Every structure is written in C-alpha cells, then in structure tokens.
Structure 1
C-alpha cells in the first residue's frame, strides 16, 4: 500500500514538473517565432533594396531624369492637394491614417505578441476608429450645413414718371402733403398721390397709381 502511494506521488511530481517546463517553453517559442519573422522581413527588405539598385543601375540618364521629373511632379501635386484641404479634411485624413496604423499594430501584436499586448493594441485600434468616425461626422455636418445667406440690400424704388395731362392738373389737391421743392400734390381717382415737376411729368408718391 505504501509502495502504491509512493508511485502515485512520484507520478504527480513528474506531471507538475512537465507542465512547468511546457509553460516556460511557450515564451521561448513565441520569441523564436518573432525573431524568425523579423529575420524574414529583414531579408525581404534587403532583397527589395538590391532589386531597386539593380533596376536603377540599368537605367539610362534620360530615363533617370524622366523618373525624377515624374516623381517631383507627383510630389508637387500631392503638396498642392494638401494645401487646398480644409482643416476638417486634414483632421479626417490624419484620423484615418492613425486608425489604419493602430489596426496594423493590433494585427502584428496578435500574431507575435502576448494576449495582453494584442488586447491593448486592439483597444487602441478601436479608439482610433471611433476618432476617425467622429471627425468624419463633424466634416459631414459642416458640409451639409447650409451656408448663411448674405442680406440682400434693398434698392430704393425710383418713383415712376409719365407725362401729365390737362386732367391731372384738375385733380383734387392734398393740402397736407407737399412734393419736392414745395410742389403741389394731387390725389388721383384711386387714391394715388402725385406731383407735377417742372418738366411737366407726373411723379407718383405712393404705390397706388391713378
């Protein structure tokens, strides 16, 4: 009986020891995987640089000049487009760039890092997405908001003139009102008031025409 307990105790000790070794081995495997991934990236970067150098070495001076000119033109167009952007558009572009960067870092952390690192990266990516949506919403509100209408200045309406007839001189006189220069004011059949200027033209003082 004592022998049986001793065997069981030994087996339990071995099991606990094996689990501890396995857990200690996980970070080293993750670290080795990350180092391998970094080495692959470095190799790919070096290969791209070598390919680019070989391509440039094979180019003629005219081709190099044309490439540089096209690159400069592209940069100038990009700078002009950035200068023409409104503050809201610049903020939206920056928020979108930050969101993409945070998402990329979250994916990288999920692949190579620990669970805590991946969670933190995902949280940062989510926050960046919210900020991007908020800036985009503010931009849309500013675009959709109707522009304030400028007040239209009222142009003074010039009194209408027409040639006076003999009957216009015989109309009733409004003794309470005087025209320019003390001219006599007459009242037409429909209540319109007018005076007759020195040129013999009838000029209305009110909107009601006789």
Structure 2
C-alpha cells in the first residue's frame, strides 16, 4: 500500500488491482477495533434503500473483535471477504473496474452466507462495494433476490468510504496513522468525488474518538 501511495507500482500494472485494494483497505481496518473504525463508516454510509432491516442490523453491532476471512470459497464460488461479528455474518463483494461475474453473482453469494450458517444463528448481510457510478443499478437488480435467500443486501461506494475515513476520530497514534494512509490511498485512486445516496449524515459526537 505504501509503495502505491508513493507511486512505485504503476510500472508493474498493480495500482488498479481489485484484489490489492480489497487487501489494502480491509487488511488495514482489521487492526482497528470495530467500534473505532468500520462501525463509523458502515453505520453512516452503508445503506439499503428498500430494506431498513439492513441498516438496523448494521447499527446494532457494538463489539470490537471480529473474524475476517479474505476470498472465502464454497461450491457456489468465492466471496471477497467474510466478516463475523457478534451475531452478524457479513459477506463483502468488492468491485473496482470490473463488473459482476454473471447476473446471479450476488444471489450465489447470498446462498454462500446461508450455507455457512447451517444452524441459522446469524443475521446475514451482504455488502456490495464499488465506485459510486456502479452502485445503484447493481443494487436495484439484486436487493429483492438476495432477500429471498434470507440475506439483506446493502451497498457502499468507495467515495463514501473515503468520506467515512475522514470522519473517524481517534486519540490513538497508530489508528490515526492507518486512517491517514488509507485516506491517501483512496484519494490517489480518485475517490474524492460525489458521495452517493446520502448527502447529510448525523454524527453522534460522543460516540467516537477525537484526534489529539
């Protein structure tokens, strides 16, 4: 990630790698307790216009520790990331410049989440991450289909993720260092633009940490 920020990867053609961005962003965010980092981003910017249950479940998460597996596979295929926190199972599908691998990709991933929860002990969310311009069509074509599989579909744009990173407050030096590096990375990728569905975000000023 640092090599990319410092413009050392362009000649190798790696700066646009979807898998690299997935690993860089979520790999770094694993080192920050959920309530110090991803919670702020997901609570304020991950959304599901036709399914308030998605946002209700997301905002109910208050644990710090979580399990995170990259590129988890099943007979249905592969999902970019699978996150388990508390009683919530979250599948994360990440896109940068490519399209979905078939019209049924998100439905297959919803079935994967159901398969991994054989005892039905988790609330299941599927989060689609992409550029803002690619979000709405995918969401509108899939939200009801994944719901039929018992999985609530939501989405978040890279532009909104950058906005969320900028809003995270922390007194911890190494958390601030990670957040600042990720902001630079996403700014360099051109995500400093239109912010997506939500224009106004209400922030609980007492719920997050402040920069020192």
Shorter-normalised TM-score: what interval?
A: under 0.3
**Bigger proportion of residues as strand:** 2
Structure label with greater radius of gyration: 1
Q: Which has the higher contact order (CA 8 A, sep 6+)?
A: 2
**Bigger proportion of residues as helix:** 1
TM-score (norm 1): 0.20
